[in-house]
Amino acid sequence: MGSFEFAPAPRPPELNARYERHGHQVPVSIGSLMARNRVEFGALTAVYDGDVRLTWRELADIAGRFAGFLGSRGVGPGDVVAWQAPNWWESLAVAYGIWAAGAISAPIVPIYREHEVAAIVAAVRPACVVTAADFRGCRHPELIDEACRMAGWEPSVRVVLRGAATGWTPFETTVTGKSEIATDVDPDAPALIGFTSGTTSGAKAVVHSTRGLIASPVRSTRASGTTWTDRAYMPAPVAHATGLLSAIAVPLYTGASVVLRDRWDADQAIDDILEYRVTTSAGAAVFMKELVDALDRRGMDRLPLPGGYPCGGSSIPTSLAEATEAKGLAPARAFGMTECPGVTGSSPRLDPPHIRLATDGWIMPGCEIRVLGPDGAEMPAGEAGEFLVRGPQLALGYIDPEHTREGFTDEGWFRTGDLGFLTAHATGDGEVRYSCQVTGRSKEIINRGGEKISVREIEDAIVRHAEVLDAAVVPAPHERLGEQPAAFVLLRPGAAVQPDGLAAFLRAGGLAPQKIPRIWRYVDDLPRTASGKIKKYALREALAGPAPA
């Protein structure tokens, strides 16, 4: 038994009982879901990875044998297994195998290098590490060896995928023994450690239980209608929240299959969606935009996804959502975070476009949102403030006690740092349902001489220009007023619009003069996290130095 420690957040004891009573949580183990899929959906395909196609029986058996290997090496409940791997089928076997052993999974996105991995190793102190031998020119075993040295920690077990490395056990060797799937694991014990994207600061280590993890597909699949007949397309890292939920948690709960790709390419995505008869996908705005552009280049009017394209993780301009809808992809905007995924959402099969495209969706069943003003007072519907959220999928807490103290209230509410407002909608039977609109992050609000300006409003206006591919706005210093908006703009190939032209476009669109940037930076690319979020802190750092008054 390992000795993993974290800082649990306050949580009213009656919440889990209430969530169970209303069907928002199920006290189930991942091992029991694996065993169920092995029997009920055993002959159905679970995963497509290039030329590899595995059924649920085959995937569950391989994962069970990996779990048996971990157990034989003394890795089990309370132990952490950190894994850094691409979107390969082995990643699913490793993920399920860790939970089948009763251990705690700590996935690491493949783009992280020694600095980030060393910080993660120091935080989670893994008993076992798993990684790919080579991926995109990087020797990951050597990377992790160095990260462990930097962290002063030596895992007792090291496993390498698709290759060899000194001191590492090849994955194929670990799956030759007996399958052992633990089905009696405590659903309230730590099961997953996720790492925030770190768009405004460094990543934080977030701890989830099995109960909280499975609460996401329990509720989201009711809205999406996902079943064992569906097939997801997932090029986003399975080590990140979007990939983990879409490629691992939802298929585990429903028996759906997934097509994996270890890199994003819009043209490849179109081919795969058609070839594999994909019914659903998910991703950030950048993926949607590139998919729509690729369809236009091909002269394709539509690419239907019956199960829709849930989109979140970054701001989604309404104009982009409308363009994606016109292509038949049925986008459904959503709001959530690593600590509490899927707070809001909508159904591509049930909800009208004005909810799916122009808002961030309905508050999901079982979830609650409070909107607080600057003075901490509760704000009514229609009034903006900071979101505090609570729900059946909320994390147990952080590893760092200071992060838990800062992030959670004594009543178990999570301070999201996101700003926005709720809108009341009459349902016609005397009841009211609330949709959500995110307007930005508290750290992304520009304080211009006491006037608060939302960067998202400016970004949405800029990307409506026909020659703009993407844009990001951050606060820049202003000698007299304190802050002013600065825009980083990525133009479409061949575009030549100048800053004066963009400013004129914003004025013509009715944007207030104080919101129109005076600082414009044209860039060849925008720095992003693995999930497609723009790293705003990197843009702010790029602005360091004198700014025009």
Dihedral angle sign, alpha carbons of residues 512, 515, 520, 526: negative
Cα angle 474, 362, 322; round to 5: 60
Separation CA 345–CA 343 (nearest Å): 7
Mean pLDDT of 145-166: 97
Domain boundaries of the chain, sorted by first residue: 29-186, 451-542
Q: Is residue 224 within 8 Å of residue 364, measured between CB atoms?
A: no
Phi/psi of residue 285, nearest 5 degrees: -60, -40
Please provide the CATH number assigned to the domain covering 451-542. Answer: 3.30.300.30
Kindly report the pTM of this predicted structure: 0.84
Phi/psi of residue 70, nearest 5 degrees: -60, -45
The amino acid that residue 60 corresponds to is A
Q: Is residue 251 within 8 Å of residue 257, measured between CB atoms?
A: yes
Question: 3-state DSSP call for residue 445?
Answer: strand
* Two tokens, residue 194: 């996720």
Separation CA 285–CA 314 (nearest Å): 7
Residue 547 pLDDT: 45
Question: Distance from CA of residue 207 to its chain's centroid?
Answer: 15
441-496 confidence digits (pLDDT tens): 776 778 787 667 878 889 989 999 999 999 999 999 888 778 899 999 999 999 99
Residue 202 pLDDT: 60
207-251 confidence digits (pLDDT tens): 999 999 999 999 999 888 999 999 999 998 999 888 999 999 999
Residue count (the chain) = 549
- HEC secondary structure over 272-299: HHHHCCCCEECECHHHHHHHHHHHHHHC
* Two tokens, residue 423: 């809108």
485-542 confidence digits (pLDDT tens): 999 999 999 999 999 999 999 999 888 888 999 999 999 999 987 667 788 888 988 8
Best CA proximity match to 534, nearest among 341, 323, 284, 288 = 284
Question: Distance from CA of residue 56 to its chain's centroid?
Answer: 25
Q: Is residue 384 within 8 Å of residue 452, measured between CB atoms?
A: no
Phi/psi of residue 483, nearest 5 degrees: -140, 155
Domain 29-186: state its class: alpha beta
Integer CA distances (angstroms), 72 to 106, 143, 536, in order: 20, 26, 45
